[in-house]
Structure 1
């Protein structure tokens, strides 16, 4: 049942994005960043772009400082607003706040309306279905272990036959997870098939495009990479403590 639910969720996500296109749209760098990595990637690109223009200072210790309070677009202004009136804040907090602003949501809605991004409901259904298959896999292993351990001593030789009954469902759930892991492109969480085709036409021939497509690990400046990597580690640690 969990595997069937995963298949249905995947089909639903694919059908949701069958939006007719009048012509091949041209993606902006921010749109490419969203399709490749979602709201967090858009915020990362905005932070890097502002740092390169010296309107924002990103320290390797994980702090962001406003140099020029005038943003060039809504996304930059949302980052400045996320930093706050003090003009300085932790990059992890800025990243989380800016990723949830109206500017990023409007960008996502435009891409969904164009059939290039996966709607939030479809993403949540697929993620929930994957968790269901993972839970079923664990349940099968637990039941198989319990069945062998509770087998009467004189029937211990029949444990192989008992385990054989669990082999088929385990192969089904485990195989589904393996196929999903191998076949699903990393950007598939955010980009529809049409969006992924457009992303494939992007070439990381400059540093900002590389960040949009691959994230902070593509940054060539070690200090800047350390600043954003430090904020990622801090954010994960805070999330686990919560």
Structure 2
């Protein structure tokens, strides 16, 4: 009957993790996003970096900035995974962040530049403006939900592990094994069901955009910025909304998605 202790631990872990997820989801649903009226949101509009953040977070903003600079011949993105500065005069804070990330040598690994740019103050400024406008989910809310989901996943693995150990104990009769399977199925169903609900319901709340931000993305095209022509806007808008997958050129896509390794990345 030693397996009963394992069952108690498994049940406690599953119930605690699921309760934590429910509390986090409830707190998220109760969050008072400072959502502007639809007319106000439409009048405000979205810049390309803002649209990129709402669809993919800081990493998407970094991708957009790198591709925009490459498109305007301010930066060379090689398919080998290196970024080289061509014009060091950044036109805004985001581009200046890229140049600073590359450093005085004028060349750096693209993956390292992407990481540094995504963590830069200019990208945090974009996030803060969107959160203040009620268009983005606060970082604390998103982190709380993600942590709760990971806790439920961990509890599910723990239930499986304890159930397996209980079944593998020596001198177990067949009837006892059937009881073990039946009893451990209860916390397993609970945790798996909670994960399924989280995937369907909670997942929508952990995206970068708030409900108002999602609405604005779906009804309003990002505005042209600076000296972008029509082709630039179409290309960069696709990148902002869909990321590197929207880049048709395989070499350029490889340049953007290259890993920060010591060897060259091939297409």
Q: TM-score, normalised by structure 1?
A: 0.88
**1:218 match:** 246
Q: Is residue 115 of structure 2 the alignment partner of residue 87 of structure 1?
A: no
**Alignment deviations for residues 118-149 of structure 1 (CA, whole Å, 9 cap, x no partner):** 11111221121111101100111112112222
**Alignment deviations for residues 36-62 of structure 1 (CA, whole Å, 9 cap, x no partner):** 111110000000011111111100001
Q: Distance in 2 between matches of 1:203 and 1:167?
A: 49
Match of 1:101 among 112, 115, 120: 120
**Alignment deviations for residues 216-241 of structure 1 (CA, whole Å, 9 cap, x no partner):** 111012211010121xx337xxxxxx
**Alignment deviations for residues 86-110 of structure 1 (CA, whole Å, 9 cap, x no partner):** 1111111111111111111111111
- Structure 2 residue matching 1:16: 3-state secondary structure: coil
Match of 1:120 among 115, 135, 139: 139
Q: Is residue 157 of structure 2 the alignment partner of residue 129 of structure 1?
A: no
Q: Tell me, yes or no, if the aligned pair for 2:142 and 2:206 is still in contact at 8 Å.
A: no
Segment drifting more, 92-101 vs 191-200: 191-200
Q: Distance in 1 between matches of 2:205 and 2:69?
A: 24
Match of 1:18 among 27, 30, 33: 33
Q: Tell me, yes or no, if the aligned pair for 2:159 and 2:188 is still in contact at 8 Å.
A: yes
Gaps of 5+ in 1: 236-242
Deviation of 1:113 after TM superposition, in Å, equals 0.9
**2:81 match:** 62
C-alpha RMSD over aligned residues? 2.3
Q: Distance in 1 between matches of 2:57 and 2:45?
A: 18
Q: Tell me, yes or no, if the aligned pair for 1:47 and 1:56 is still in contact at 8 Å.
A: yes
Q: Is residue 217 of structure 2 the alignment partner of residue 199 of structure 1?
A: yes
Gaps of 5+ in 2: 1-15, 223-232, 262-267
- Structure 1 residue matching 2:30: 3-state secondary structure: helix
**2:256 match:** 228
Return closer, same or farther for 1:175/1:226 CA change in 2, 3 Å cut-off: same
Q: Tell me, yes or no, if the aligned pair for 1:17 and 1:118 is still in contact at 8 Å.
A: no
Q: Tell me, yes or no, if the aligned pair for 2:24 and 2:148 is still in contact at 8 Å.
A: yes
Q: Aligned ranges for residues 135-146 of structure 1 at < 5 Å? A: 135-146=154-165
Aligned residues: 233
- Structure 2 residue matching 1:68: 3-state secondary structure: coil
